[in-house]
Amino acid sequence: GESVGLHLPTLSVQEGDNSIINCAYSNSASDYFIWYKQESGKGPQFIIDIRSNMDKRQGQRVTVLLNKTVKHLSLQIAATQPGDSAVYFCAERTGDKLIFGTGTRLQVFP
Amino acid sequence: ETGVTQTPRHLVMGMTNKKSLKCEQHLGHNAMYWYKQSAKKPLELMFVYNFKEQTENNSVPSRFSPECPNSSHLFLHLHTLQPEDSALYLCASSPHTLRSSGVGDTQYFGPGTRLTVL
Q: What is the pLDDT of residue B98?
A: 67
Q: What are phi and psi of B101, to 5 degrees?
A: -90, -35
Partner residue opposite A34 with nearest CB, options B42, B99, B106: B106
Residue A4 has pLDDT above 60, yes or no: no
> What region does A95 belong to: left with phi over 0, alpha with psi -120 to 50, or beta?
left
Please give, rounded to a whole number of angstroms, the shortest distance from the CA of A83 to a CA of chain B.
16
Is B104 in contact with A32 (Cβ distance < 8 A)? yes
List, for residues B25-38, the tens digit of each pLDDT value: 999 999 999 999 99
List, for residues B29-88, the tens digit of each pLDDT value: 999 999 999 987 889 999 999 888 888 888 899 999 999 999 999 999 999 999 999 999
Partner residue opposite B106 with nearest CB, options A31, A46, A101: A46
Per-residue confidence band for B100, with pLDDT thresholds at 50, 70 and 90 = low
Q: What is the pLDDT of residue B21?
A: 98
Distance (Å, rounded) from C-alpha B114 to C-alpha B86? Answer: 8
Q: Which helix (H) or strand (E) holds B99?
A: helix B98-101
Q: What are phi and psi of A82, to 5 degrees?
A: -55, -35
